[in-house]
Every structure is written in structure tokens, then in C-alpha cells.
Amino acid sequence: MAEVARAFEVNANVLHRWRREFREGPGNAFPGAGRRRWDEGRLAQLERKIGQQVPEIDFLKGCLQRIEEQRKLQALTGKPLSYQQIKTQRDGAEALTAKRMCALAG
């Protein structure tokens, strides 16, 4: 907490008070006439975008993992994985359409 206080040049006691007030009632922690940083519509839009990107990121991570596994196997055995071996290793890719997977894979 002290490090954050120094970084933002705010007294540590103020940060502790703000945290306590927020825990007691998040809606009342920072009352005032200021404008909100994000409107509710924008927040909902960003949450939807995150929801869309999670399976895409998982898919791409899986692709990278399979590529790395294939490279290691090829280095050890001298031969690449077959298409059937790669296909059976898929996990979680069903959440994306084939068209989207192709677009993500390039």
C-alpha cells in the first residue's frame, strides 16, 4: 500500500480509508459530482468483447502448444505428426466456428 501511495503521491492513510469505504459500500466510496470514467454501455461493450476474445485466445494458445509439441516430436523422431494425431489433440476449439478458427490461424 505504501508503494502505491508513493507512486500516486497520496497519503497511505487516505488509501486505507478509501479501501475501507469501498469494502463497506462500493456505491458510496467515491461520491461526488464528477463524471464517470466509463458509461455503462461502453462497459457492457468491452465485457462482450472480452467474452468473445477468451475462446479465441484459448484457441490460439492451443495452436501454439500443438506447433511446439510437433516441433519437439519432429526433432526427436525426425518425422512430423500426422493430420489425425493433430486433429485428436484439439481441445476447446469447438467453441469457435471453423471460419473464425481459419481467420485467427491466418
Cβ atoms 15, 5 nearer than 8 A:
yes
More confident residue, 61 or 8: 61
> Is the pLDDT at 91 greater than 60, yes or no?
no
Domain boundaries, the chain: 54-106
Q: What's the confidence (pLDDT) of residue 90?
A: 55
More confident residue, 21 or 52: 52
Among the listed residues 72, 44, 45, 59, the one whose alpha carbon sits nearest the alpha carbon of residue 99 = 59
Q: What's the confidence (pLDDT) of residue 54?
A: 93
* Mean pLDDT of the residues in the chain: 77
pLDDT average, residue stretch 19-48? 75
Q: What's the confidence (pLDDT) of residue 27?
A: 67
